[in-house]
Amino acid sequence: MPDTGHPAAPAPLTHSCLSHQASAVTLPESLLFVSTLDGSLHAVSKQSGDIKWTLREDPVIQVPVYLTEPGFLPDPNDGSLYILGGKHKEGLVKLPFTIPELVQSAPCRSSDGILYTGRKQDVWFVVDPETGEKQASLTTGSSESICPNSPLLYIGRTGYMVTMFDTKTQELRWNATYNDYSAPAYDEKQDYKMAHLVSSGDGLVVTVDRETGDVLWSQNYGSPVVGVYLYAGDSLRHAPHLSLAVETLRFLTFSSASEQADSYSSLKWSYQFVKEQASAQTQLVPTLYVGKMDSHLYASTSLVHHGVSLVPRGVTLARIEGPATEEVTVRERGECEITPSTDVRYPAGSTTSSKNHWLLIGTLTQTHTHSNGLPDPFEYVC
């Protein structure tokens, strides 16, 4: 029918589709995606780190109920779990399973009478790469129409929720949700040219050229960075990042700056040096950073240099790798692939090891350092 002058019925979908076809498109390949603890996914320029747009979702770690001791500290980088104050007073130790592994193994019942209940829920965010506008969210419960002609990003995210219910005390012992973007690892063959150094406890990211060591850019995203991604082959790809203490990242950056007396953005700063230091463990020491967000604690591995003061914990250790305990990590076909238990036994002698027994403690935006004394580290968590 010809136009009669009457107002047409609204057709937002078609309109939206047409407007996207006409606009210049920022190729997703030119973007980096930075996931932060508070649940933001920042699409940033690969060249400058400047934020183009931000997707705001639920925080990476959610601990709705924090009930009884011993508590568990999740690692927002991969969903690992650390237990605080085990049966044998080991201090802070890593458990041999992650939250996603627990959810996969549930429902199961451990020998100490804990019922593990899991929930895994995927969601696809269908996003305009130009504006960051969310066109649709696809879950198992809902699916909406999407403009078929506009180039769109498909970003998959999974929420893993686990509940531990103690049948002896009839109490919920712990529950938590860990949210993770679905992203296969970046193909190493493709020769990724950047290295992303992130600081534990704040949102600082220093991106350097892998070969020359040039600092390409530095940005602060306001919340600790837990993942850096590229968009390649129609999906997010996990790019490697290295976590360092705030002081260490600043120390290295400023050391470089004073040596060169150059502008910040063109600092010559040897990434190779950092890597060698880290692997030799001479000056950069692997530690566990304990932070706080909202009302819960979390833990993540972090490299520190020898100038950063730490809280040693006597014979306690925070092992980065975690132990393999024969009768705890049971794999039996058809059964729970892992039999969860917090009764982790460390090999004899390992709890008095002189390596990896440092604990760096801070809050979300501030790191507390103490250069003397051996206080209870948890006094320093605000």
List residues near its own copies by CB under 8 A. Answer: 103-104, 106-109, 115, 117-124, 138-141, 143, 145-146, 148, 154, 156-158, 161-163, 165, 167-168, 170, 172, 175, 182-185, 234-235, 238, 332-336
**How far apart, in whole angstroms, are the C-alpha atoms of residue 381 and residue 360?**
10
Residue 256: CB minimum distance to its own copies, A: 32
**Owner of token pair 């009302």:** 295
CA of 147: how far to CAs of 14, 37, 144, in Å?
A: 8, 31, 10
Residue 375: CB minimum distance to its own copies, A: 37
Sign of the dihedral through C-alpha 150, 155, 156, 162: negative
Range 139-152 burial, b when 16+ CB lie within 10 A, else e = eeeeeeebbeebeb
Nearer to its own copies, 146 or 257 (CB): 146
**How far apart, in whole angstroms, are the C-alpha atoms of residue 65 and residue 176?**
8
Nearer to its own copies, 80 or 356 (CB): 80
Nearer to its own copies, 7 or 12 (CB): 12
Residue 366: CB minimum distance to its own copies, A: 33
Residue 370: CB minimum distance to its own copies, A: 38
Residue 144: CB minimum distance to its own copies, A: 9
Nearer to its own copies, 142 or 258 (CB): 142
C-beta atoms surrounding 162 within 10 Å:
27
SS3 category, 280: helix
Q: DSSP letters along 287-340, please?
A: EEEEEEETTEEEEEEEEE-TTS--EE-TT----SS----TTTS---TTS-SS--
Which of 236, 366, 196 lies closest to 290 in space, CA to CA? 366
SS3 category, 180: strand
Nearer to its own copies, 137 or 309 (CB): 137
Residue 342: CB minimum distance to its own copies, A: 18
Nearer to its own copies, 334 or 373 (CB): 334
**Owner of token pair 């934020």:** 51
Nearer to its own copies, 108 or 257 (CB): 108
The neighbouring-strand residues paired with 176 are 162
Phi then psi dihedrals of residue 57, to 5 deg: -125, -175
Residue 157: CB minimum distance to its own copies, A: 7
Residue 16: CB minimum distance to its own copies, A: 13
Nearer to its own copies, 99 or 310 (CB): 99
Output the six-digit token pair for 166. Answer: 């103690």
